[in-house]
Structure 1
């Protein structure tokens, strides 16, 4: 039986040991094997393509996150036009470079970007007609990254954690979640990176660990 997905969560890692990404996904989503088999989790193969290549990521999305659908062509009859799934992008380090370019291309091609979550995308300008969130492994990275687009919410680790540890172990990265309350007041709340990631996913219709 074919799976019917209404949305895809796309993971774009950086240039590092793939085991770190596996750790990140297990911490965030729990039973990763069951999730990949039955859910909507897509992992860009950084072992085969550059993490910073927006075109390669876009082509990957076209191959796995769109499905053919029957629709009437302009002159009558029926033809097949691809339907692009709405996506949530979660990206890290060098993957942020490629992911933001792919997000723009996906949107320009008629797709929807429900959310863009960048972990340690230091030095990468972030902007777009979709919700953007930033996470940083320390306060310096948070402050300097904010100059290039802070996003609607953000998180930074305090005390600082190692760059790769933010990705591999989000449950141990404690820090400050900068967001607005339901009354519109800007606030900083203590949290872990995993807690914040799970909240952002839930906000956009996706759940984290079962």
Structure 2
């Protein structure tokens, strides 16, 4: 299983901080399986550039199931790349969109949304969300959830019943690790 990180349009130091915050726990074994799309400027929006990156970097491209973790503008390119990957015969184990506000998320793979506040969570879920999602509470600024996922606290919620009851208060990094461990086991 490979984890594909598709950042938004920002400095690469923020993505390095995100990975450090994510790995600062029980999933150090995933570090070797993480690929970071090096998109600069508007390449993060390009599904074709992300797909080309995957085909170049993966040894047995279609044999490796992928988990996409995308942020902000990177959600746009990543969701398109996930669909293209499947059209080519590849497998998407899960798609995690962090603050992909305004991006339509649909697919025949598990989708999870993470948001920096409740309003972004609620309004984004109108455009598709998965069964288990996360929003920060107290709310944080947009970049904080990417820069420091280990410090952002919030609710992991089950959206499948439509009432959005809280399921657990945890950090964004703990939520992500929980998802990764779940998909590693299944």
Please give the TM-score of this superposition, normalised by the length of structure 1: 0.79
Greater share of helix residues, 1 or 2? 2
1:41 aligns with 2:20: no
The residue matched to 1:51 in structure 2 has which SS?
helix
Map of 1:182-201 to 2, 5 A cutoff?
187-188=165-166, 189-201=168-180
User: How many residues are aligned here?
Assistant: 180
CA–CA distance in 2 between the matches of 1:110 and 1:55? 16
**Max Rg structure:** 1
CA–CA distance in 2 between the matches of 1:93 and 1:174? 19
Deviation at 1:65, TM superposition (A): 2.1
Q: Spell out structure 1 runs of 4+ moving beyond 3 A.
A: none
Summarize the Cα distance change of 1:162–1:42 in structure 2 as closer, same or farther, 3 Å threshold: same
Q: Which runs of 5+ in 2 are unaligned?
A: none
CA–CA distance in 2 between the matches of 1:83 and 1:175? 35
CA contact (8 A) 2:102 2:127 kept: yes
Summarize the Cα distance change of 1:94–1:27 in structure 2 as closer, same or farther, 3 Å threshold: same
Deviation at 1:162, TM superposition (A): 0.7
Give the counterpart of 2:80 among 101, 105, 115: 101
Greater share of strand residues, 1 or 2? 1
Summarize the Cα distance change of 1:10–1:60 in structure 2 as closer, same or farther, 3 Å threshold: same
- The residue aligned with 1:78 is none
Deviation at 1:47, TM superposition (A): 2.9
Q: Which runs of 5+ in 1 are unaligned?
A: 1-6, 68-81
CA contact (8 A) 2:9 2:42 kept: no
Deviation at 1:152, TM superposition (A): 1.6
1:18 aligns with 2:25: no
Map of 1:41-60 to 2, 5 A cutoff?
41-47=34-40, 50-60=43-53
CA–CA distance in 2 between the matches of 1:21 and 1:35? 19
Map of 1:100-119 to 2, 5 A cutoff?
100-119=79-98
In angstroms, what is the RMSD of aligned CA positions? 2.3
The residue matched to 2:113 in structure 1 has which SS?
strand
Please give the TM-score of this superposition, normalised by the length of structure 2: 0.89
